[in-house]
Structure 1
Amino acid sequence: MRFFNTEGPNRQENHYTLPPLSRWDLGEILALIDQKKYFLLHAPRQTGKTTCLLALAEHLNREGRCRAVYANLEVAQAYRAQLDKGMTAVVEQVSRGARDQLGDAGAADLGREIILSSSGGTAVGEFLARWSAQSLQPLVLLLDEVDALIGDTLLSLLRQLRAGYPQRPTAFPQTIILCGVRDLRDYRIHASSEREAITGGSAFNIKAKSLRLGDFSAAETRTLLLEHTRETGQVFTPEALAAQVWELTRGQPWLVNALAYRACFELHEGRDRRQPITLALIDQAKEAMIVERVTHLDQLAHKLQEPRVRRVIEPILAGTALGEVPTDDRDYLVDLGLLRRDGAGGLVVANPIYREVLPRMLASGPQDSLPQISPTWLNADGSLNPQSLLTAFLAFWRRHGQPLLGSVAYHEIAPHLVLMAFLHRVVNGGGTLEREYAIGMGRMDLCLRYGAVTLGLELKVWRDREADPLVDGLEQLDGYLAGLGLDTGWLVIFDRRSNQPPIAERTACQTATSPQGRAIAVIRA
Structure 2
Amino acid sequence: MPRWFNTAGPCRADRNYMLPALRRLPEVLPLIDQESYFVLHAPRQVGKTTALRALAEELTASGRYAALHFSCESGEVAGDDFTAAQQAILSRIRRSAELYLPAELHPPPFPEAPDISLLGTALAAWARACPRRLVLFFDEIDALRGQSLLSVLRQLRDGFSDRPTGFPTSVILCGLRDVRDYKVTSGDRGHLGTSSPFNIKVESLTLRNFTRDEVAELYQQHTDDTGQVFLPEAVDRAFYWTQGQPWLVNALARQMVEQLVTDRNQPLTAAHVDVAKEILLRRQDTHLDSLAERLREPRVRRILEPMLAGIALGDVPEDDLRFVQDLGLVRMASTGGMEVANPLYREIIPRVLANTAMASLPRLPATWLRADGRLDMERLMEAFLAFWRQHGQPLLGTAPYHEISPHLVLMAFLHRVANGGGTLEREYAIGTGRMDLCLRYGPDTLALELKVWRDGEKDPLEEGLAQLDGYLAGLGLESGWLVIFDRRGGQPPMAERTRATPATTPAGRQVTVVRA
1:9 aligns with 2:10: yes
- The answer to whether the 8 A contact 1:290-1:357 is kept is yes
Which residues in structure 2 correspond to 1:183-194 (within 5 Å)?
A: 183-190=178-185
Report the equivalent of 1:142: 137
2:195 match: secondary structure: helix
1:433 aligns with 2:421: no
Distance 2:245 2:161 in 1: 39
Which residues in structure 2 correspond to 1:244-263 (within 5 Å)?
A: 244-263=237-256
2:305 match: secondary structure: helix
* One-letter amino acid of the structure 1 residue matched with residue 122 of structure 2: F
Which residues in structure 2 correspond to 1:329-478 (within 5 Å)?
A: 329-478=320-469
Distance 1:261 1:310 in 2: 32
1:500 aligns with 2:478: no
Cα distance 1:511–1:124, how it changes in 2: closer, same or farther (>3 A)? Answer: same
Report the equivalent of 1:166: 161
Cα distance 1:341–1:196, how it changes in 2: closer, same or farther (>3 A)? Answer: closer
Number of residue equivalences: 514
TM-fit CA distance, 1:151: 1.2
* One-letter amino acid of the structure 1 residue matched with residue 102 of structure 2: G
Report the equivalent of 1:55: 54
Distance 2:442 2:249 in 1: 28
1:515 aligns with 2:506: yes
TM-fit CA distance, 1:423: 0.6
Deviations 1:198-220 (A, max 9, x none): 44412011001111110001111
* One-letter amino acid of the structure 2 residue matched with residue 13 of structure 1: D
* One-letter amino acid of the structure 2 residue matched with residue 227 of structure 1: Q
1:230 to 207, 224, 229: 224
TM-fit CA distance, 1:107: 4.7
- The answer to whether the 8 A contact 1:85-1:120 is kept is no
TM-fit CA distance, 1:40: 1.2
Deviations 1:357-393 (A, max 9, x none): 0011111110000011121111223221100110111
2:366 match: secondary structure: coil
Which residues in structure 2 correspond to 1:90-129 (within 5 Å)?
A: 90-104=89-103, 107=106, 110-111=109-110, 114=111, 117-129=112-124
Distance 2:329 2:259 in 1: 27
TM-fit CA distance, 1:181: 1.1
Cα distance 1:197–1:252, how it changes in 2: closer, same or farther (>3 A)? Answer: closer
* One-letter amino acid of the structure 1 residue matched with residue 211 of structure 2: S
1:139 match: secondary structure: strand
Distance 2:25 2:192 in 1: 31
TM-fit CA distance, 1:429: 3.6
User: Which blocks of at least 5 consecutive residues in structure 2 are unaligned?
Assistant: none
TM-fit CA distance, 1:118: 3.4
TM-fit CA distance, 1:196: 7.4
- The answer to whether the 8 A contact 1:189-1:199 is kept is no
Report the equivalent of 1:216: 210
Distance 1:380 1:397 in 2: 25
Distance 2:467 2:163 in 1: 62
Distance 1:37 1:450 in 2: 56
2:506 match: secondary structure: coil
Distance 1:196 1:362 in 2: 25
Distance 2:230 2:126 in 1: 52
- Percent of matched pairs sharing the same residue: 55
* One-letter amino acid of the structure 1 residue matched with residue 45 of structure 2: Q
TM-fit CA distance, 1:300: 1.1
Report the equivalent of 1:29: 28
Report the equivalent of 1:485: 476
Distance 2:59 2:232 in 1: 39
Report the equivalent of 2:298: 307
1:272 aligns with 2:278: no
- The answer to whether the 8 A contact 1:96-1:108 is kept is no
- The answer to whether the 8 A contact 1:187-1:200 is kept is no
- The answer to whether the 8 A contact 2:7-2:251 is kept is yes
TM-fit CA distance, 1:84: 1.4
TM-fit CA distance, 1:100: 2.1
Distance 2:116 2:211 in 1: 43
RMSD: 1.6
**TM-score, with structure 1 as normaliser:** 0.95
Cα distance 1:462–1:231, how it changes in 2: closer, same or farther (>3 A)? Answer: same
1:281 aligns with 2:281: no
* One-letter amino acid of the structure 1 residue matched with residue 9 of structure 2: G
- The answer to whether the 8 A contact 2:105-2:130 is kept is no
1:488 match: secondary structure: coil
Report the equivalent of 1:204: 198
* One-letter amino acid of the structure 2 residue matched with residue 360 of structure 1: R
Cα distance 1:426–1:52, how it changes in 2: closer, same or farther (>3 A)? Answer: same
1:207 match: secondary structure: coil
Report the equivalent of 2:81: 82
* One-letter amino acid of the structure 1 residue matched with residue 241 of structure 2: L
2:167 match: secondary structure: coil
* One-letter amino acid of the structure 2 residue matched with residue 298 of structure 1: D
Distance 1:305 1:460 in 2: 23
